[in-house]
């Protein structure tokens, strides 16, 4: 029997996520949006591609939350996208209103689901989703660290002309300008990045990683990133379903880990069918720890602004 995944928001991120889920035959997909016709049309298009992917997934488009009932996973992508010159934080209040409505509805129709939040500012929206749904913390997870780490691996691979598969990198903290790349754990073919690239070039890569989304927004003019965010969500889904067993950096509720309590922030975790199975605490240097705490406190500030 197929699993069932609801994707809330039939924009670029949501539709691409639905496409990847169906293409990999991971689950049946419900694509839901407030605009009539859009999720139905996009879902039908994806459904018609399934025979070519040898996928038996059923893809449904709807405007009715009753169709999402009993989903195993709900992915929330609904919200306004960034425009040029707009930070993730600028989206705070507008997207908070959208998230509140979505969270109330999925709490009713999908009470046992694991929720993956993509909407920006992601860490604060994940915190808000948990508060509104009242789901256990381990079942409400933010996507951010997976994407940030993938971006860093990409820029390192491009700089060195190597395969991204040979690059390992991990980025902690909030999904924003205060994210914390851990250079001690960044390797290329097993060698530390500091032994391969000069400090100035490493700093350029870090800055490009931090501005990875903004760079795409600036190029697109009327949209934001969606291929890599969608692929990051699917990486989490595959791990939750047990097809992969990688440690992934995700935004989760911290209860004292890394010296932070009562807020969502990106850390390496084990995921399973119950959501967050375990938070992995890495040994951080004092500078790394302080940078992480600063990043987490910035998220806390955003949460306070929306009454979290």
pLDDT, tens digit, for every residue of 1-43? 689 999 999 999 999 999 999 999 999 999 999 999 999 999 9
CB 58 within 8 A of CB 28: yes
Q: Which of 54, 108, 127, 175 is catalytic?
A: 175
Q: 204: which residues sit within 8 A by CB, 6+ positions away?
A: none
Same domain, 164 and 296: yes
pLDDT at 1: 62
pLDDT at 90: 74
Instruction: Give ∠ CA 108-23-246 in degrees, rounded to 5.
Output: 75
Residue 289 main-chain phi, psi, to 5 deg: -65, -45
In the chain, beta strands by DSSP E: 4-8, 28-32, 59-62, 73-76, 114-117, 140-142, 167-168, 171-172, 180-181, 187-188, 191-192, 248-255, 261-272, 275-279
pLDDT at 41: 98
Q: How many CB atoms lie under 10 A from the CB of residue 278?
A: 12
pTM for the whole structure: 0.96
CATH code for the domain in which residue 34 is found: 3.40.50.720
Cα–Cα distance for residue pair 218/216, rounded to 1 Å = 5
What is the total count of domains within the chain? 2
pLDDT at 89: 67
Angle at which helix 122-133 crosses helix 286-305, to 10 degrees, equals 60
Q: Computed over its alpha carbons, how large is the radius of gyration of the chain? A: 19
Same domain, 27 and 94: yes
Of the residues 142, 172, 198, the one at which a domain ends? 142
Same domain, 163 and 124: no
Same domain, 72 and 165: no
Same domain, 152 and 301: yes
Which regions in the chain score pLDDT beneath 70? 1, 82, 86-89, 308
pLDDT at 132: 97
Name the token pair of 249: 């950096």
pLDDT at 86: 67
The tokens 């405007």 sit on which residue?
63
Q: How many CB atoms lie under 10 A from the CB of residue 50?
A: 16
Same domain, 165 and 298: yes
Cα–Cα distance for residue pair 82/89, rounded to 1 Å = 10
The boundaries of the domain holding residue 38 are 4-142
CATH code for the domain in which residue 229 is found: 3.90.110.10
Catalytic annotation present for 2: no
Same domain, 134 and 188: no
pLDDT at 93: 86
Same domain, 158 and 299: yes
Cα–Cα distance for residue pair 297/295, rounded to 1 Å = 5
Of the residues 109, 142, 175, the one at which a domain ends? 142
Of the residues 142, 161, 192, the one at which a domain ends? 142
């Amino acid at each position: 029997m197929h699993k069932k995944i609801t994707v809330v928001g039939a924009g670029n991120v949501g539709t691409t996520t639905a496409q990847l889920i169906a293409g990999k035959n991971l689950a049946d997909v419900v694509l839901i949006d407030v605009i009539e016709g859009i999720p139905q049309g996009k879902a039908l298009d994806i459904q018609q591609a399934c025979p070519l992917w040898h996928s038996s997934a059923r893809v449904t488009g709807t405007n009715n939350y009753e169709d999402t009932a009993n989903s195993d996973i709900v992915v929330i992508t609904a919200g306004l996208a960034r425009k040029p010159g707009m930070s993730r934080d600028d989206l705070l209040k507008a997207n908070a209103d959208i998230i509140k409505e979505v969270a109330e509805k999925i709490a009713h129709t999908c009470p046992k689901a694991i929720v993956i939040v993509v909407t920006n500012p992601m860490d604060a929206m994940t915190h808000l989703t948990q508060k509104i749904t009242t789901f256990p913390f381990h079942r409400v997870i933010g996507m951010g660290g997976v994407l940030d780490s993938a971006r860093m691996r990409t820029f390192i691979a491009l700089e060195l002309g190597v395969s991204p598969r040979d690059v390992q990198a991990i980025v902690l903290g909030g999904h924003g300008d205060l994210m914390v790349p851990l250079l001690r754990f960044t390797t290329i073919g097993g060698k530390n990045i500091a032994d391969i690239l000069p400090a100035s070039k490493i700093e350029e890569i870090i800055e490009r990683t931090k501005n990875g989304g903004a760079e795409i927004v600036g190029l697109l003019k009327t949209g934001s990133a969606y291929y890599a965010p969608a692929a990051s969500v699917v990486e989490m889904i595959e791990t939750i379903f047990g097809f992969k067993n990688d440690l992934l950096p995700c935004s989760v509720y911290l209860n004292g880990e890394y010296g932070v309590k009562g807020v969502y922030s990106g850390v390496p975790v084990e995921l399973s069918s119950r959501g967050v199975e375990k938070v992995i605490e890495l040994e951080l240097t004092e500078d790394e720890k302080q940078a992480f705490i600063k990043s987490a406190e910035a998220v806390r500030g955003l949460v306070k602004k929306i009454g979290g």
